[in-house]
Amino acid sequence: MVRDARSQLGRWTSHAPDLVHMELLLGAELARIDRDVVHADRVYQQGGRAAQEQSFIHHAALAHERRGRMFLDLRRETAATAAFAQARSHYQQWGVEAKVRQLGEQLDRFRA
C-alpha cells in the first residue's frame, strides 16, 4: 500500500513539484522498513530539505523527527539527538512549542 502511494506520488510530482518532498518521505519510510538505514537517512534529509525549500516547514520537521526516531530505535543517541534538534528547530519555527517539549522529553527518557 505504501509502495503504491509512493508510485502514485512519483507520477504526480512531474505536474506538482511541491509533492516531491512527500514522495521522498515515503521513500525514506520504505528504506527504513527494508532496514536500509544509510539510504533512509539520506532520503529523510533530502525530504526535509525539499520540504523546507517549498516552505512546508511542518513536513521538514516531520522528516527529521522520523529520522530521529529511526536512530532511537537503533540506539544511536548522537544521530538521534542531531535529527531531533533539527526537528525541534523546525517545529519551533512553525510555532508548535508543545511538540518541541515533547521531543525533548522523549530524548531525555531515552537517555535515562
Predicted local confidence at residue 111, as pLDDT: 77
Question: Mind listing the pLDDT tens digit for each residue in 70-85?
Answer: 999 999 999 999 999 9
Number of domains in the chain: 1
Cβ-based neighbour number of residue 88 at 10 Å: 23
Predicted local confidence at residue 82, as pLDDT: 94
The distance in angstroms from the start CA to the end CA of the chain is 37
Q: Pick from 57, 30, 59, 58: which is nearest to 43 by CA?
A: 30
CATH code (residue 63): 1.25.40.10
Residue carrying the nine cell digits 511542518: 58
Confidence of residue 35 (pLDDT cuts 50, 70, 90): very high
Enclosing domain of residue 77: 2-111
Average pLDDT in the chain: 89
How far, CA to CA in Å, does 43 sit from each of 21, 31, 103, 111? 9, 9, 21, 26
- Expressed in percent and rounded to 5, the helix, strand and coil fractions of the chain are 85, 0, 15
CB 47 within 8 A of CB 21: yes
Instruction: Enter the pTM of the model.
Output: 0.86
Average pLDDT over residues 25-49: 96
